[in-house]
Structure 1
């Protein structure tokens, strides 16, 4: 028997919620996926990141967890939506089955797929004012676990509250070495002349799908050099442009950080190339 918001309940749904290890221990990984015109964008990258994350967290990967099976489950979920449209945000969560400590059974997993209608099928550039600040109350711990997309997002949640209370659009997160690693909701890229720089995974940034795509696009652009290197807070005000990337919004240019204002020309160029890659990839 459980008490949910003051209501005594013994239904399957509430008991399933109460025993969810993702809720109890943040013992869950997830993928946030964009589906456009029936196509799952960058699905292969999402699938293999999910499999790698499950292996690192010592979750048992079911035999039927093939790329085709999960793709069919996502499409089935979208088809059952009451609101139909051309684009959806899909969240695929995987967590270990109930158990308070390790047992052979807690290797097995459950999964959940949630689909939500989006207004734009492809990526568009938001050029509205977008001011950011450093979040310094807590730090990301660099290392392999920080690169995984798990439900352990306390620092990101607190950073979002800080941004909201101080009227910032976003915040940069620092690791324990005081290096800038990412934004609250995506990876970051700094443009300085012909160099485009992004923090390395070793510093604790998320191993983002759009990060990978942007890096591949930049590698094919002869006018730019891509650099994976640590970013100090002092570099932020020296950059010509800074932008954030994630699977749903694509590329979000930053307009200002403290007294520094930034351009958007490289972000525009990359966004056009990203949309082509999303359609053809």
Structure 2
């Protein structure tokens, strides 16, 4: 079941050949975790979606309020007749068909889809998780790299590279050879009592979970936190590195080349993150 412009469809709607998201990557999306009748960090998702649409000069419909879109999400989920109460929800927004590079209109369409999840809260996976740098292509620093568009070809190629070389994930770099993010989330690096994550100006995604983790870290009196560029040379000197995204929460990296990492800060964060998700 999907929600296409407010109408629930039993089967996935066929995408027309000239769909602008398909032809030009002229689309943005939000991926959300819903558990126990609550969209985790919904306000942050909503305002990021609105900001992304404004950056891409899309016309925001008058009815695209927080309440309306939240109701559309739950209307879609209510079509799932199962005992599962935890979902991964994806909302896609694209500019209506027309034009080539220059759109014929800035009006939009949207679709909401979902899949079920087994675990209703955030848990910490501590099994081996090895990463490598993906250096074949890079993320351009700047505003457009911070929003979630459907133009994710670098992430796709990096995922293929990881699969072919038996890595669990890859770290992406920008044109200045600075670490930007992982294939599926933001990264945080811990060295002694200092924790840092790349700034948005380096081209990393303006992640919803990134925002939550930064908020939590600012209350860690035993650590100092900063948003600062991360050089590849810092990776093997780090004590701990972890990836964040809104579905998994926190995913510790256990190995980069010959260096193995601890999970101390990630363990400390996970319970606080669950509390924040419930209260937000």
The Cα of 1:17 is off from its aligned counterpart by 3.0
State the alpha-carbon separation in 1 of the partners of residues 105 and 140 from structure 2. 26
Query: Counterparts of 2:105 and 2:97 in 1: how far apart (Å)?
Result: 7
TM-score by length of 2: 0.94
Q: Is contact 1:84-1:117 (8 Å) kept? A: no
**How big is the shift at 1:83?**
3.7
CA distance in 1, matches of 2:82, 2:166: 33
SS in 2 for 1:17: coil
Give the aligned length.
268
Task: Give 3-state SS (helix, strand or coil) of 1:272's partner.
Answer: helix
Answering whether residue 44 of structure 2 is matched by residue 68 of structure 1, we say no
Q: Name the residue aligned to 2:207.
A: 208
Provide the C-alpha distance between the structure 1 equivalents of 2:119 and 2:217, rounded to a whole number of angstroms.
24
The 3-state SS of whatever aligns with 1:174 is strand
Structure 1: 4+ residue segments shifted above 2 A: 100-103
CA drift of 1:188 comes to 0.1
**What's the TM-score, normalizing by structure 1?**
0.93
Larger relative helix fraction: 1
Is the alpha carbon distance of 1:13 and 1:275 closer, same or farther for their aligned partners in structure 2, counting shifts above 3 Å? closer
Unaligned runs of 5+ in 1: 1-11
Helix, strand or coil at the partner of 2:105: helix
2:45 corresponds to 1:46? yes
- Taking only aligned residues, the RMSD between alpha carbons, in angstroms, comes to 1.2
Distance (Å, rounded) in 2 between the aligned partners of 1:71 and 1:125: 28
Q: How far, CA to CA, are the matches of 1:70 and 1:60 in structure 2?
A: 16
2:221 and 2:202 mapped to 1: Cα distance?
27
Q: Secondary structure at the match of 1:207?
A: coil
1:235: how far off?
A: 0.2
1:233-272 Cα offsets, whole Å, 9 max, x none, are 0000011000000000000000000000000011011111
CA contact (8 A) 1:199 1:205 kept: yes
